[in-house]
Every structure is written in structure tokens, then in C-alpha cells.
Structure 1
């Protein structure tokens, strides 16, 4: 009897797949059905299935092979009777409860899109000349990091978003922004998603997005700033889906129906 009540959609699907592994539906060495088939069978979006597979990967139950699929490498050894999700040897969290709180990377992007587009809208009317100067500096750092061969952890991207939050002159919004980024950086699921992404050329596309956001800030145009930030994070989501997909490079799915930018602007 499983007492654990999953809090997130990917956990529900992950537990279903995990139970199917326990039931012998997929023996060691076998390949899981295509992501699209699992999504249709369980009536969920493909991003939720991908997050569930990341969960199983963190538990060392499956191995994702780019361009080939997902293969079973171990079978579950516990019955989840204690109410905790099993610990992964790759997990950076110290407890079962902490692992249960890890959100899926695409759910996290959804939250960022909702919060940061509003932050950008407000920052556009609040930003001072010094705020704009700091945003420009962050873009220069980001550009230099993209053109560098160093493997150091990039900082320009985070600085740019952080300076926009600070430009609101609202400490609560800054704290909310920090909490989202800290959760992102400490998330084993986010890190596992990125370990499958080898091509970094997408960073140049995001730099162009940032330039559009900065332009809206300079013009003190809140509608354009909100639109540009929303579209930027939409582009991030789509690109991560495409780059991390191990079956179909042309994957066109997404987590949720994004509100068209023109509707966002019309509601102002």
C-alpha cells in the first residue's frame, strides 16, 4: 500500500511508471515506450512525462540515451510504504521530504514566466539610469561568457534578470525572484535536465532576447517589457524541450497553453 500522496503531476506519473517497473512490465534492458505514447496513455502533457522520467533517472532506474530512448537499468527495491519517495544516489537533498518538494523544470519555468513578466512590466516604469547601466553591464558579461571557452559557471544571465527585479525598487519582488532562482539552482531535476544538453549555441538566442528586454526598459515601455520577458521565457521553455528531447528533435509540445502576448497587453 502506497501512503505517499504525490504533490506534483510528474510525481503521480513517475509513481505509475515506477509501479509498472515493479510489476515487470519493463524488464531490465528494455526500452520504455516513446514519450508521446506514454503521454497519450496517461492523458498528460509530454513535459510531465519528461519530468517523470527525470525523476526515475535520479533514482537510477532508467538511463536516457540521446537519440535512442529511455532504457531500464534497475528495478525498484522498495514499496514506498514509509510515505517517502526513494532517495537517489545523485540527489543533493538530504531527506525524502526535501526530494518531494523538488518541482519539475517546466513547472518552474511557468512560474518564472508569470512572475518575471510582471516584474519587467513594473521595472520599466521604475528603472533609474543606474539600473539601466547595470543591465547593460550584465549583457556585456553575458556576451563575453558566450564567446569564452571557459567552463566557469555563467553569471551574466542571472545578473541581468536580477537587476531587472531590483529596478522595481520593491524588496518583496526581489525576494520572490531570489527564491525562484535559488530553487532552480538547487533542483536536482533542473540539473539532470541540463546534463543532456550539449549544444550551448542557444545562449546567443537568449542574449538577443535580453537585448529586446533592455530596449523596452530604456524606452520606459511597460507593455513592451512585459511582452519581451514573456516571449523570452517562452523561447527558453521551447528550446529546452527541443534540446533535451531524446526522441524527436522537432518536438512541438509545451507545458501549458501560453497566454498570447497580444491578450496580455489587451488586458492592461
Structure 2
């Protein structure tokens, strides 16, 4: 009798399981439906509001625009930028200036802001607005410029070619300029030259170059003897730990006047020798 009662109770206990599972699933469905129907709030937010970068790199922000209404809304994107700054908005990889938002939806917008390389290091506030016919959503971003590193290598006259006589040397004047907003330290000059050519720099390295400043560098270029006349490409480069610049320089090699006269003399002597031999042995 007791055994039958236990079996009966056990069967009853297991018979409640499908009912409990169905009850839990139904309750969860009601909860998710309630969450789905819950309206979103209007908003314009960014994951990171404050970004720091050099002035020669863009500031990139990831933002989210939310339409909390039950209607389709068109938003125009607008920003107040300092002079010379630029901004672009991208939605799913495409550049936009406005977008159409579905009811009760959120959309991710990538914002890229660029400033002039000459912009002074400082914190800049960038107000962004999403404007619709019924409302304006505002977002204030911050761009912190920590300065930039940039180098320029050229010549004082801008000329990038010169002439040199084979077997001689030529002095070239280069101009190194710090076009960034931060000082550059330990700048070294190197060259890539044709075979057996040599170059020395004065100065050979620069300890420090302040922003906006420039310095002239003398290059003593030596061309080996018997170099065939023609055009030769040389490359000069300056490097620091933060920036670099290079320049291509064309050298036109000419033979010396003395070499030319010697060559002509050799030709005349050869012609004279042939004539002499013909006169002496041609009669036999």
C-alpha cells in the first residue's frame, strides 16, 4: 500500500513539469513583448566625447542618434567648427549630411573631424546638432590637440638640379624646416647616391629644431673620375624619431674641358698616324 502511494505521488510530481515550463515560457514572452513595446528616448550620444590626437591626424567619434517618436523623422546634421576645420558623417560606411530615422529606432553615426596642421595645441569644443522639423538633438564633442610633428626638405631656391664635372665635387645647399607645431630632436641626414659617389653634410645632424624654424645644410657631393656624362639621380633624406622627409636631386655630369681637348688630341694623333702609315707603306 505504501509503495503504491509513493509511486502515485511521484507520478503527480512529474506531471506538473510541462505545466511549469509552459508557464515560464509564457511569462518570458510577455516580458520580452513589454520590453519591445517600450518606447526609446530621444538622444544623441557618443561613446567617447573627448579625444586627443596630433593636428595632422583626424579625430574619430562613434555616436548614436535615437528617434524616440512613433513617426518617421528626417534629421539634418550640423556642426559649429573653428575656421579651417572639416567634418564628415558616415552611416554604414556611406558619407551623409542627413538621414531618415525609422520610428523608435537608434542609428550609429561615425564622425570624423580634421583640423589644420597649424592649429595650436588646445582643447576645442565642437557642438553637433541633429535637426528635425520638430526637435533639435545636441551633442558637444571635445578635440584635444597635442601638437604635430612634420618635416620639410627642399632647397632655398626650390631648384632640384645642378651640374657637376666628372672627377670633381659640388656643394649643394639644402633647407630643413620644421613645419609641425612641436620641436623635433636628433635629426640625421643620409643620402642614396650612384655607385662610388660620396656625400658629406655640414652639419651632419641637428640636435633640435623648433616648430616653424629652418636651417640650411651644406652637402659636399664628390663625383668619381671617368664618370660618363649624363643625368644621375640622388636622394637626400632627413629623419627624426617622430617624422621624416626626403628629396630627389638630379645631377648633370659633364666632362672637363681638359678631358675634351685631350680626347680631340688623341683623335688627331690617330688620324695623323694612319696618314703617315698610308704614305710610307702605301706605295709598296
* TM-score normalised by L of structure 2: 0.21
Higher Cα radius of gyration = 2
* TM-score normalised by L of structure 1: 0.22
Query: With CA pairs under 8 Å and 6+ residues apart, which has the higher RCO, 1 or 2?
Result: 1
Greater strand fraction, Structure 1 or Structure 2: 2
